[in-house]
Amino acid sequence: MSGAEKSRKRILVVFHGWPPTDGRPASGGALRAWYHVEALRDAGHDVHAVTRDQDAIPDGPPTFSSPGSLQAHVRAVEPEVLICVQPEEAPNLAGLGIPLCVDLYAPRLLEAQFQDRTGEEAVRTMEALRAADFVLFSNPRQRYFYMGLMALAGFDLREEAGAVVPLVAPQGPRRAYPTEPVFVMGGVSWPWQDPVEGLRRSVAHLEKRGVGRIVVYGGQPVIGDDEGIDLKQSLPESERLSFAGVVPYDELLAAYAKSTAALDVMAPSPEREVALAFRHVDYLGCGLPLITGPFHPLAPAIDTRGAGVVGGDVESALDHFLDDADAVRIASKAARSLARDVFSPAVCESPLLNWVERASVRSRESTPIGRWSEAQADAIAAKAEALSMSERLERFQGEVERKRGETDALVLQVRQLTQVADTLSGAIGEVAGYRREAIRVLGAQAEEARSGQIGMVEALAEARADAEKKAGELRAAAEVQARLQADVDRLREEVTLAREDIAKKSAEIVAQEAERTRLEPELEQAREEVVFAREDIAKKNAELSALESEQRRLENDLIHARQEIESLRNRGLFRR
């Protein structure tokens, strides 16, 4: 058996989003996972992937709907290594005895401050780190950003606990240069990435120069309910500015390859100083020079390699590419070279491949912050469960109310049908009475005709004529009677159908009552589960209060110890 065969491992990659296939837009997490999968397969590993139900696509990877179903999928695959590109899923993969690599390619804590979710994200990040055996970062600055948090989560940083795996640049289409300068900006307009002022100044400068245009791709996220900045509402209209919206990933790369340069001029923020964005490596992979600020991690490489313009005012940077076609071509070649040398799959994915060969479960150290994070995560989970139970209770109550409404409607319908049946029965009686009255009247008229014939011989001919008339009336009455009989028969059929419908509706009422009776225990059980969930929340809050009290006691002990040391030092009894 060869060395390659010996190192072959079964690996499961967990992610969210759509892979960059089948003409779809691609999300950052899915791109990251896709490059991991491709590199691992090229290295000979047996790689499986799984994503959420909401991200399912035809012929795509299998999906999971809950922590339980994700763990069931892990048991079915039986992987030797787990790679989690979505940190929020990491706690659901912990404690399985399988080496777990968590990919922290984005500074989520810094992003969360722009969405007022810092507390929630702090717990989520700490729980992801506590679950991880190995951690990936997208650039060195992110590694430094996370190292302190890793120590708080119980990592022994004296041993290798993570690696920098940069974002992979795609191998973009063949470069083509537009006849009129076109500057592009792509990606989601997240709250922590504010390009409004840079775009406004760029548009104003192009209008002043009377040349060039700007095309903005992307905008709002294609998956999830997060919201970005509405650039259309934030910028004045201009014939120099257009919004192309979200396009399939291959179309996006083709548009980049046909443009002059990329605009990446954003307001400074801590997130921008730490994050390497997918749009950056997409630009480089398409040979697109960047116009960007000096503060983000890619700026030194762009400046050193000449792959764009870093720093200074955006107007001068635009002029650099508007006035010098050779500058565009030189910077484009430098961008493509930077992508090939630093952000190719072989270079970027190498640290991950090395770890997979020696992957193991790390020893864990319990820390106060870790215990706090665990308690907070339990409390958040309990609150989420209570909210879920409340929502289920509301749905049950709504279903019961709906069933009651349907039952009331059926009862009303039965009453209406009963009234119709009563009306039809009355109509049958009226028809029968009319028939008897017609026979009585016609019989009296015939008797009067016969008496007149006996008493008045001289009026025989007139009597015969009158009798003939009466006979005609009798025939007409018989025809009326036949029609009335047909109406009676038809009404009887309608009454029969009405009674059958009443029987059917009565059966439906009985079924609805049975359904309501069946739902009542479930409703009661839901109420009990909500009570249990609230009691559990109260218990977790009490445990959290106890932990906080213990933390305050330890802090006070530390202060007293420091004071005693300081006192001894002042008395000359203690030296470092």
Query: Which value, to the nearest 10 degrees, does the dihedral of the CA atoms of residues 94, 98, 99, 104 take?
Result: -40
Q: What pLDDT, on a 0 to 100 scale, did the predictor assign at position 523? A: 72
pTM for the predicted model, two decimal places: 0.67
Q: What SS3 class is residue 163?
A: strand
pLDDT at site 508: 76
Task: At 16, give phi and psi (nearest 5°).
Answer: -120, 155
Beta strand segments in 295-414, E: 308-310
| Neighbour order of strands in the sheet with 290-292 | 241-245, 213-217, 182-185, 261-264, 290-292, 308-310
Give the sign of the dihedral formed by CA 224, CA 540, CA 84, CA 126: positive
Look over the chain and give the mean of its residue pLDDT values, rounded to a whole number.
84
Q: How many CB atoms lie within 10 A of CB 478?
A: 13
Q: What is the DSSP string of 256-306?
A: HHTSSEEEE-----HHHHHPPPHHHHHHHHTT--EEE-SSSTTHHHHHHHT
Return the biggest CA–CA distance within the chain. Answer: 165
Would you say 236 and 200 are in contact if contact means Cβ atoms under 8 Å apart? yes
**Could you tell me which residues come within 8 angstroms of residue 71 by beta carbon, excluding any fewer than 6 positions away?**
92, 93, 96
Burial class of residue 37, CB neighbours in 10 A (0-12, 13-18, 19+): buried
pLDDT on residue 132: 96
pLDDT along the chain (576 residues), means of 10: 64 91 81 96 96 88 93 96 96 95 94 88 93 96 94 90 95 94 90 91 96 90 66 90 92 96 93 92 97 93 96 94 96 97 96 96 81 70 63 67 72 69 64 59 56 52 66 71 75 75 75 75 72 78 82 84 81 67
pLDDT of residue 257: 97
Residue whose pair of structure tokens reads 């307001």 in the numeric block: 267
- What is the structure's pLDDT at 264? 94
d(CA 478, CA 219): 84
Q: Three-state SS for 1?
A: coil
Rounded to the nearest 5°, which phi and psi values hold at 8? -65, 130
DSSP state of 188: B
Predicted confidence at residue 433, as pLDDT, reads: 65
Domains in the chain (CATH in brackets) are 3-164 (3.40.50.2000), 182-343 (3.40.50.2000), 368-570 (1.10.287)
**pLDDT reported for residue 487:** 73
Residue pLDDT, tens place only, 162-178: 999 999 999 999 999 99
